[in-house]
Structure 1
Amino acid sequence: MCLVIFSTRVLRYTAFVILNEMIFDASSSLNLKNATYLKAVKQHVWQTYRADIEGGDVTTELFLPKKCPDIRAEIVANEPGVFAGFPEAKWLLKKIGVSITKHIKEGRLFKKGDILLVLHGRADRILKAERTLLNLLQRMSGIATATQKMASHLPKTIKLLATRKTFWGLLDKRAVYVGGGATHRLNLSDAAMIKDNHWMLSPLCHFMLDTESTHPSYNDSNLSRFRIKCGMTKGGAGVTRGGIGITNKLKKLRFIEFEMDNLSQVRQFVEFYSHVPAFLRSSKKVAIMLDNFSPTDVKKAVKLLKLLGIWIEVSGGITLQNIKSYAIRGVDAISSGAITTKAPALDLSLQT
């Protein structure tokens, strides 16, 4: 990894607003009034439903009367868990003319045998949507349940985060929130996470704190063009018109996070951070990810970083079995891909 020393003037534009809430959570935007989230629901729910009935429902068409009666149907839990997916389910059912007459509160723990939803509508419409509806509720409730189990092992000072290892994108992220976790990045434009590959592919690796870069694309001409793009003069002071575009992008970021792979990189970062002005340090928009650290090394890293006033995230190989050992004082968040990639779909069924 290489750590780039940005100019003080460029860093100034990353200190946009002081946040009083956790930078890693954007769950407030995950609702059906948000156009981006609604698009995700249409993609993962409505398009799935449309694909399922594209050629018709031959079983229903053959064995139910042409004028189907209205019926009552129930979504019943066959195992305990945390209920998630209600707004998405309501949206789907409303589009096909089925109403929900009773439901439990989203985020509530339920036990085996509990009725989660009571539906009312034409029999054929309910049967056609059965599999899509159950898939939605089973997956989101499964993720919420896995999140709640893992989060229960953490103190209130440490938040459990989703990763971008999701199958249903923003729907998975919202399920994590329902289970008591937080979203982390929603997409690649939401926040900046500077990882090994970014450093390795950047000609600015010349600005390493420990050694000079041999990156093939580095030369004085490339560096000058980059300075102009970022709004820097050659001496690192002053802002040019060319810097407006990148400045506007930086202003929209929720946070900037640096991934660290070992204690040596953490020590480099501490030295690098001493070049950052006080207004950026107080903005609380800078974070460090300690990736695949042992609990012992996390403690050492926290000791090095604690005076910087930045967010500290632990990630890499975090499971229900080992999360307690990473609940270390000074850590702000722990992210785990397991809560979305390994969460089993809960066993739910539709009964008429």
Structure 2
Amino acid sequence: PQTTPTPFSPPPLSALLPPSHLRTLARRWLHEDCPGPDPAALLVGLTPRRAHIVCKSPGLLAGLPFADAVWAEVSCVSTWKLPEGDHVTPGTVVAEVTGPAARILQGERVVLELLSRCSGTATAAARAVGVGRGLGWKGAVGGTRKTTPGFRLVEKYGLRVGGADPHRYDLGGTVMVKDTHRDAAGIGMGQLVLRARRAGGWSRRVEAECGSAAEALQAALFGADIVLLDNMEPQELHAAAAAVKAQHPTVTVEASGGITEEALPLYVGPNVDAVSMGSLTHSARPIDFALRVVPGDDVGQ
């Protein structure tokens, strides 16, 4: 007998983040900001207090799981007024934090920084995705590994909140053959792709960074799963993408190389499956947040 499929509600993106990794990151960030005694803590003590996190510039709210992990490490609790991914405007109270006064202030800067950077990345990603969709393009907008050391997971997560693809998280995610590998190995693209296939085994895809149509066709011929057309002028890129798709229709074609939000319309097209943009992380404008302690409000009294 036929059965009705059970409706599937996708879990929140925070399910992607292993709690142990969140705790490790939170402790690392807090230790960097306060590796020893905090004399200013004696000014306020451990009296229970309440504070609000307030938005100061417009954008998408992102980074809540990281903020929660930091607050937990300093014995504070955050209550979010808006869900992750919502658009926020200046003056919006996005969260309430309760806990010992000194601990709130010790977590303040770390939380504001990660919310700012994660929200900025999410906002830039959402704008870029919107540009592509507005043109009727069905491909993927992705980030790159051009992330801030120590903040990679935060920025990759922000890309997802904004609707973009985070691309590979680290060097092992995909075997990417770049011009530097070619120059260091001293062999042609075809042989380099074959080596990459052996090195990555059966479970990893191979991506080849190519600077010309001829190089892209050779990479596809020797088994590259993804051909990255790098630093090409739009007209040249679209001609190369069409040539690859004509001979190897199952190969994924990716465009990359200094592509900004303003230039994005020039690079999307029927033969381009993905556009990766380092600017979504390394040039994303942060969204400004502030923490304000509620004066004269002793929690629990």
If the length of structure 1 is used for normalisation, what is the TM-score? 0.71
- Provide the rounded CA distance (Å) in 1 between the counterparts of 2:263 and 2:207: 24
1:189 corresponds to 2:172: yes
Q: Secondary structure at the match of 2:218?
A: helix
Alpha-carbon shift at residue 134 of structure 1 (Å): 0.6
Q: Does 1:91 align with 2:30?
A: no
In structure 2, do the counterparts of structure 1 residues 306 and 72 end up closer, same or farther at CA, with 3 Å as the change threshold?
same
CA separation of 1:29 and 1:264: change in aligned 2, threshold 3 A: farther
1:327 matched to which residue of 2?
268
Kindly provide the CA deviation profile for residues 46-65 of structure 1, in whole angstroms up to 9, marking residues without a partner as x: 2121232223222231x22x
Contact 2:226/2:253 (<8 A) preserved: yes
Alignment of 1:141-152 (within 5 A): 141-152=119-130
Aligned position for 2:27: 46
The equivalent position to 1:166 in structure 2, one of 147, 157, 172, is 147
Structure 1 letter corresponding to 2:34: I
Measure the CA separation in 2 of the matches of 1:106 and 1:303: 39
Q: Deviations over 1:208-238 (max 9, x none)?
A: 79xxxxxxxxxxxxxxxx8xxx5xxxxxxxx
1:350 positional shift: 0.3
Instruction: Quote how far apart the aligned CAs of 1:103 are.
Output: 3.1
The one-letter code sitting in structure 2 at the alignment partner of 1:316 is G
Q: What is the Cα deviation at residue 30 of structure 1?
A: 4.2
Find the partner of 1:60 among 41, 46, 59: 41
- Aligned match of 2:160: 177
Segments of 5+ residues of structure 2 without an aligned counterpart are 1-12, 294-301
Q: Distance in 2 between matches of 1:85 and 1:269?
A: 38
Q: In structure 2, what is the Cα distance between the partners aligned to 1:206 and 1:193?
A: 12
Aligned mates of 2:146, 2:257 — CA distance in 1: 12
RMSD of Structure 2 on Structure 1 (CA): 2.5
Give the structure, 1 or 2, with the largest relative contact order (CA under 8 Å, sep 6 or more).
1
Percent identity between the two aligned chains: 29
Cα offsets for 1:212-271 (capped at 9, x unmatched): xxxxxxxxxxxxxx8xxx5xxxxxxxxxxxxxxx5xx42332x2111110123234345x
Contact 1:190 1:252 in 2 (8 A): no
State the one-letter code of the partner of 2:202.
K
Alignment of 1:250 with 2:201, yes or no, is yes
The residue aligned with 2:47 is 69
Distance in 2 (alpha carbons) for counterparts of 1:269 and 1:192: 13
Aligned to 2:7: none
Distance 1:207 1:346, change over 3 A: closer
Query: Unaligned stretches of 5+ in structure 1?
Result: 1-26, 210-225, 231-245, 277-284
Task: String of CA shifts for 1:91-113, please: whole Å, max 9, x gaps.
Answer: 11112211123331111111111
Aligned AA for 1:55?
A: G
Deviations 1:133-167 (A, max 9, x none): 11111111111111112221012512111111110
The aligned amino acid for 1:158 is G
Mapped partners of 1:191, 1:28: distance in 2? 23
TM-score (norm 2): 0.82
Change (3 A) 1:125 1:322: same
Between the aligned partners of 1:263 and 1:206, the Cα distance in structure 2 is: 12
Which entry has the higher C-alpha Rg, 1 or 2? Answer: 1
Q: Determine the structure 1 residue equivalent to 2:92.
A: 114
Return closer, same or farther for 1:28/1:292 CA change in 2, 3 Å cut-off: farther
Quote the residue 1:300 is aligned against. 239
Residue 18 of structure 2 is matched in structure 1 by 32
Instruction: Indicate how the Cα distance of structure 1 residues 110 and 46 shifts in structure 2: closer, same or farther if over 3 A, else same.
Output: same
Are the aligned partners of 1:99 and 1:121 in contact in 2 as well (CA < 8 Å)? yes
Q: 1:237 matched to which residue of 2?
A: none
Larger mean Cα displacement after TM superposition, 257-266 or 46-55: 46-55
Q: By how many angstroms is 1:29 displaced? A: 8.2
